[in-house]
Amino acid sequence: MSVPGSFAVLRLLWLLSVFGTVLPLDGGMLFPRESSFREVKELNGLWDFRADGSPNRNEGFEKAWHKRQLAETGPVIEMPVPASYNDITQDPTLRDFIGWVWYDREVAVPARWISDQGTRVVLRVGSAHYYSIVWVNGEKVTEHEGGHLPFEAEISSLIRREPMKPCRITIAVNNTLTLETLPPGTIQYMNDSSRYPDGFFVQNMDFDFFNYAGIHRPVLLYTTPKVYVDDITVETNFMDNTGLIRYKVSVQGGFSNTLNITLMDKDGHFVASSNGSSGVLRVVDVKLWWPYLMHENPGYLYSMKVRQHAHRHVRDEYTLPLGIRTVNVTNTQFLINNKPFYFHGVNKHEDADIRGRGFDWPLIVKDFNLMKWLGVNSFRTSHYPYAEEILQMCDRHGIVLIDELLPHISVFGNASLSHHLVVMDELVRRDKNHPSVVMWSVANEPASEMPPAEFYFKTLIEHTKALDQTRPVTYVTIAEADMDKGGPYVDVVCVNSYFAWYFDQGRLDIVPLQLSTHFENWYRKYQRPIIQSEYGADAVPGLHMDPPMMFTEEYQNALLQSYHDVFDQKRNQYFIGELIWNFADFMTAQGIYRVVGNKKGIFTRQRQPKAAAFLLRKRYWRLANETGRLLPD
């Protein structure tokens, strides 16, 4: 990411510079794709399941439940994977369960995967919240901390040991949040025996969404050859009509053989080729990746086929979809392909009835259809990394993403920081090649009044910029005091505010003054473009009152409208985007501020529009016409 001056000079410098994406983690996290040399077997469906309800939640480890089938060590129920387990049964104890839950199932592994010593078999979990341990046939193969990113383990030699036996996969998942986890939480024991039974505890959390848990994304077995393409990194640029793709490929598992890279256009026609593990592909008459509503052909993707040869035979093949685009930020603008981009979008959650945070294609496709209906060109992955399949949809449809790592954090110790840096590495490693990702958000609303916060954020933001120099970095903030800690380091100021909602309740008349003062102060201080990264009001669908009162659909509409008036005044100055809170109603912990969840959605949780959806739809299509057209050079 660079501040544009003379673009041609910068492009030249780009070609001469070193690779901008530097990843300290060992190994890649390429999305598993089938090819002539790779197979994928999905393990989704029903698994056996048991929550460890013992007082210390440790019975499973004490009795080594992983050593046998789960059904042999106690009662089990059927649990769908992927899904949160919380809302699947009628049992409130399971809905609110804190501690270890256990899943297992047997898998028939294709005989040729076992007999062919040249095949590498990998077990991959798309995500499981929060801490996971995985065993295969009773032997531990991996563990992982963090609820929203994939992890995997090679299991080839293990399954070859007893080739005739089915392969039993056991996964234990713990959703307990502590001061060491990200997001943090605390476990509080209630010791007053006159009010609470022995051992009674609660999980305290500082974020506003239900702590859904379980195996949330697909579980897969996939194969690669023994010597395999492990990671690919691409960075793109263009000069006049020529696209430039700088690539780096790493091969693992043995001697790095000849690599051959072929780029194809959307119709499968040859575009360019190269040999070797790094280089630059030149694309004549390039078709750039454009956001939805900014071009008649948004989301244009090329395919980069990476082939690994040995003795003139192809040994491995992996095809990466990629889009060619640039991102730059000035003091007042966000530029995609050197054109000003205005974010008119939403904040989302991975959240729905029954499945909780579980991956669900019908829901994902419905949400994309709703976003396109609304005229949304962007969203923020509030407040954690979303499934990679969602990012792929964004790539294909031209929906621009602010890729966020974490919700509210309030602990700034060394342990949190080291873990935060590792998860940031994991996020960049997974998402670096997605053209839809135009900015990293390292956290939402950190309670930065805590003293070590400034060091924490400086380190985190600088680390992220060192990982990836091609994208701007932000963190999302709500208070000016918070911004003082990280503000000097961010490229774009992302600000949340809830005027006439959490403050000055019911007083819509104060919004124009407070909002514009707020913007002016922030711009004066940081001289960075500003995005309204959250604003909104709860509306209970079907509740009406005119003149508007809080919680009615009319109030939600009127509040949005009063924000929009100020946005329109600042739009041609430094104000570069608006993301409504929230796309849809979503579940939260129980509390007196939430009526069965957060109701700030412009759609209900079942994805039916409230009045505000129509208001926003009108506005976003108007904005698309005013801001989205390609501006002349």
Is the CB of 534 or the CB of 554 nearer to ligand GCB?
A: 534
- Which entry of 445, 553, 554, 578 is annotated as an active-site residue? 445
Q: Of these, 2, 236, 433, 444, which contacts ligand GCB (CB under 6 A)?
A: 444
Residue in 367, 382, 365 with CA at minimum distance from that of residue 148? 382
Residue 213 to residue 103: CA distance in whole angstroms: 12
- Residue entry with tokens 């609110």: 96
Residue in 132, 126, 172, 181 with CA at minimum distance from that of residue 149? 126
Is the CB of 113 or the CB of 384 nearer to ligand GCB?
A: 384
Q: Of these, 182, 320, 399, 478, which contacts ligand GCB (CB under 6 A)?
A: 478
Burial status of residue 313 (CB atoms within 10 A of its CB: 0-12, 13-18, 19 or more): exposed
Residue 349 to residue 174: CA distance in whole angstroms: 21
Nearest residue to ligand GCB on Cβ basis: 208
User: To 5 degrees, how large is the angle CA 198–CA 204–CA 206?
Assistant: 175
Note whether 556 and 564 are within 8 A (CB): no
CB of 345: closest distance to ligand GCB in angstroms? 15
CB of 427: closest distance to ligand GCB in angstroms? 18
Q: Residues in contact with ligand GCB, total (CB under 6 A)?
A: 10
Q: Which of residues 367-386 bind ligand GCB (CB under 6 A)?
A: 383
User: CB within 8 A of 166, min separation 6: which ones?
Assistant: 106, 107, 108, 109
Q: Which of residues 200-229 bind ligand GCB (CB under 6 A)?
A: 208
CB of 442: closest distance to ligand GCB in angstroms? 14
Residue 253 to residue 28: CA distance in whole angstroms: 13
Is the CB of 38 or the CB of 600 nearer to ligand GCB?
A: 600
Residue in 81, 121, 107, 76 with CA at minimum distance from that of residue 94? 76
Q: Which of residues 514-573 bind ligand GCB (CB under 6 A)?
A: 534
Is the CB of 404 or the CB of 554 nearer to ligand GCB?
A: 404
Q: Of these, 445, 482, 554, 585, which contacts ligand GCB (CB under 6 A)?
A: 445
Residue 250 to residue 480: CA distance in whole angstroms: 44
Residue 264 to residue 62: CA distance in whole angstroms: 55
For residue 125, what are its two tokens? Answer: 């979990």
Is the CB of 328 or the CB of 598 nearer to ligand GCB?
A: 598
**DSSP codes of every residue in 286-330:** ------TTSSSS-S--EEEEEEEEETTEEEEEEEEEE----EEE-
Is the CB of 350 or the CB of 468 nearer to ligand GCB?
A: 350
Q: In what side-by-side order are the strands of the sheet with 339-340?
A: 327-329, 334-336, 339-340
* Distance between first and last Cα of the chain: 21
CB of 440: closest distance to ligand GCB in angstroms? 17
Is the CB of 339 or the CB of 383 nearer to ligand GCB?
A: 383
CB of 409: closest distance to ligand GCB in angstroms? 12
Is the CB of 76 or the CB of 550 nearer to ligand GCB?
A: 550
Residue 531 to residue 533: CA distance in whole angstroms: 5
Is the CB of 433 or the CB of 444 nearer to ligand GCB?
A: 444
CB of 498: closest distance to ligand GCB in angstroms? 6
Is the CB of 455 or the CB of 503 nearer to ligand GCB?
A: 503
Site track 487-516 with ligand GCB (rule: CB under 6 A), x = hit: ---------x--------------------
Residue 215 to residue 105: CA distance in whole angstroms: 13
Residue 72 to residue 87: CA distance in whole angstroms: 25
CB of 23: closest distance to ligand GCB in angstroms? 29
Residue 169: C-alpha distances to residues 46, 65, 70 (Å): 13, 12, 10
- 162 included as an active-site residue: no
CB of 602: closest distance to ligand GCB in angstroms? 13
Site track 157-196 with ligand GCB (rule: CB under 6 A), x = hit: ----------------------------------------
CB of 559: closest distance to ligand GCB in angstroms? 12
Site track 589-608 with ligand GCB (rule: CB under 6 A), x = hit: ---------x-x--------
CB of 408: closest distance to ligand GCB in angstroms? 7
| Per-residue b or e along 241-275, where b marks 16 or more CB atoms closer than 10 Å to that residue's CB | eebbbbbbbbbbeeeebebbbbbbbeeeeebbebe
Q: Which of residues 383-422 bind ligand GCB (CB under 6 A)?
A: 383
Is the CB of 209 or the CB of 292 nearer to ligand GCB?
A: 209
Residue 154 to residue 591: CA distance in whole angstroms: 44
- Residue entry with tokens 């082939």: 307
CB of 582: closest distance to ligand GCB in angstroms? 7
> Which of helix, strand or coil describes residue 595?
coil
For residue 605, what are its two tokens? Answer: 């949780």
- Residue entry with tokens 């009795």: 63
> Which residues in this chain contact ligand GCB in the complex, by CB under 6 A?
208, 383, 444-445, 478, 496, 534, 581, 598, 600
Question: Which residues are known catalytic residues?
Answer: 445
